[in-house]
Amino acid sequence: MKHKVMLVEDEEALALLLKYNLEKEGYEVLWEARGGKAVAEVEKNMPSVIILDWMLPELSGIEICKMIRNKPDIKAIPIIMLTAKGEEEDKIKGLSAGADDYVTKPFSIPELMARVKTQLRRAPEPQDDKELVFEDIVMDLTAKKVYRGENYIHLGPTEFRLLRMLMETPGKVFSREYLLKNVWGDNIYVESRTVDVHIRRLRKALNEFGPDYIRTVRATGYAIDKNILGDSEE
């Protein structure tokens, strides 16, 4: 399992250069250019380390750093702050906002790679979820296969991602908007009705071999839930 490195940097040329070099080191790289999206992306992807630029659109690296340090689930992720500012005062500001390390632009690639490696030594080894289980539904994430009891369930890629999202947090109600964003991605325009269409397909495939565990919450969204059997509706 590769370590994930989250890169928050709005300068595309630099981001691509770093991405290339980090991937060469064997890391999985996630890149976000907008400051306003950084915290949500960190929460979603749970990287092992964050390389965070100071000057970003929407929210500064300092603000992002403080936000991350205030969120219990992500506060321990090491942050390396990148900045064009080189003054001692800025460095202190960066570190007091919660950054673990601070690198001034321009920096050499080997230097940054060494800093990343140092931070990763502190990070726990990434755990690969090999399987998700909800009642008799088993998702084999490595083989990308779904079983219900002994039965193999054939799902399309969208249904697979939908089910994975639901099964990662059983009982949690996911809004259509959230599902659209996290299953389809930001850049694709799809109507929220599309979610209903794919949920219907997912239900059809799963329910062939057992009860309906997908719960429709009127005007809100969907969850996978055992306790609310029978109240599913389209």
Indicate the residue among 63 and 212 with the shorter CB distance to Ca ion: 63
- From CA 97, how far away is CA 193, in angstroms rounded? 42
* Of 43, 59, 58, 51, residue with least CA distance to 83: 51
Indicate the residue among 34 and 75 with the shorter CB distance to Ca ion: 34
Q: Is 10 in the site for Ca ion (CB under 5 A)?
A: yes
* Of 213, 172, 167, 221, residue with least CA distance to 192: 221
Burial class (CB in 10 A: 0-12, 13-18, 19+), 22: buried
Residue pair 49/5 in contact (Cβ under 8 Å)? The answer is yes
Q: How far is the CB of 51 from Ca ion (least distance, A)?
A: 12
Q: How far is the CB of 174 from Ca ion (least distance, A)?
A: 33
Q: How far is the CB of 187 from Ca ion (least distance, A)?
A: 21
Indicate the residue among 86 and 211 with the shorter CB distance to Ca ion: 86
Give the residue, chosen from 3, 7, 39, 53, that forms a contact with Ca ion under the rule CB under 5 A: 53
Q: How far is the CB of 10 from Ca ion (least distance, A)?
A: 5
- From CA 119, how far away is CA 117, in angstroms rounded? 5
Q: Is 55 in the site for Ca ion (CB under 5 A)?
A: yes
Q: Is 14 in the site for Ca ion (CB under 5 A)?
A: no
Q: Taking the CB of residue 6, how many other CB atoms lie within 10 A of it?
A: 23
Encoding tokens for residue 77?
């992720």
Site for Ca ion in 106-135 (CB under 5 A): none
Q: Is 32 in the site for Ca ion (CB under 5 A)?
A: no
Indicate the residue among 12 and 128 with the shorter CB distance to Ca ion: 12
164-179: b or e for each residue (b if 16 or more CB lie within 10 Å)? bbbbeeeeebbebeeb
Residue pair 223/172 in contact (Cβ under 8 Å)? The answer is yes
Q: Which residue is nearest to Ca ion (CB)?
A: 55
Indicate the residue among 55 and 123 with the shorter CB distance to Ca ion: 55
Q: Is 101 in the site for Ca ion (CB under 5 A)?
A: no
- From CA 164, how far away is CA 168, in angstroms rounded? 6
Q: How far is the CB of 82 from Ca ion (least distance, A)?
A: 8
Q: How far is the CB of 164 from Ca ion (least distance, A)?
A: 33
Count of residues in contact with Ca ion, rule CB under 5 A: 3
- For Ca ion, the binding residues (CB under 5 A) are 10, 53, 55
